[in-house]
Structure 1
């Protein structure tokens, strides 16, 4: 049956993912799972799935803020963990980032209200014609490239921390990337993509939202605008230039071989092409034999 006419059933999909998680944990003899909880809907859904599958006692949740993190995001992450009865630890990665020299690129804005800092960061992002395309291409002026290095390092340090905690316990690291993000490149190489298990990587964002409702994720988390942690105040949909419902409708039609050539579809296809190129670049190091 054609993919776009398939009926997505949260109950059926939840059972399928639970079976997958059980199979992988048993196959590779993982004692439990570690997950980074961000306060967003993706990590909330994965946390809920883990609790249903292996029980909250075998799930270690980490909240990993740093100097520039929003207090609201940390509070939302705590809300999710408490909602599902999972014990969590808040571990700041500020010292690690400072030790790497990351914060030397952009000095702190102490005592400046968060609204002003957000407005400044957004203005800096939108000074470029199409910053997300530049990001995927690793192109731009000196200021833009510094920004890329700045935000990507945070994802990579977080992943190091997740593996450090997981390996001490014999646990696996569970990812929270969805299919829409993967296809359009909204993840950090050697960051978000470096995990042991990806339970929702086959699901479009619209399906993640359906699962969130079925799994009783707090309404506040479902309603908040997803952010890519690129620039404070900039949402995923602003980065893409399209809404998730628009993107996923296009992606599902393209998956079914339906030819689309309107402006929105061409935008999606362009981002997919750039994301694929970046993925191929990351597969290995070229050398002279």
Structure 2
């Protein structure tokens, strides 16, 4: 239904379903494989005014609520076998719809490009990262016909945490990455990139990664990457697909080309709880 938005159960999103009806001031919903339901008031087939009292019945659970604004969205989530009002909170990170990666998933909803205000201690990385950032902004305009929102790292506000953040640089050059670096699963210092048991010199390697933003885990932080298909795919839309998984270590001694951002030294997907899995190449 166009007036209901849902979050599906992990690994069951393709079977998710909601059926609904409206009788008087009662909205009745029946769900299958759904963890969260939002009723979008300004899209309902029946108009409700601000202040109207409503009853929402979800799978037999009766919830009393009301309309607070014309564009109100009434959200409920499943707590065991029953439903309760409010936004779902997850006790731990897990991959789910709109938060499952890979890198390119961050560009299917609102995002801000976060420019570094400083300079990395590693000159080769600094040059590569800033070139990839400028390329992304230019190519987004050429391929998707829009201008990305771009902010300096020191310009970010609390409100900006409500969208995906695409940060370029490292902890030395970008204030946002410096704030989040210790909370990311791949350890990255001025000297090394530590991915599991594999260690790479930060002097000539870069890190690309997507991960739930520790400052708002309903949205992504992406490091050093725009959309991952490159010039080789521009004339054939069958090639315009994600070319990288959740993370990649890039050897910067090999310059970027029309297919790759450099030599992909190692890459992989995070696990179901966004944990770093055992890698094939260690």
Do both share a fold (TM > 0.5)?
Answer: no
More strand by share: 2
Q: TM-score, normalised by structure 2?
A: 0.28
Q: Which has the higher contact order (CA 8 A, sep 6+)?
A: 1
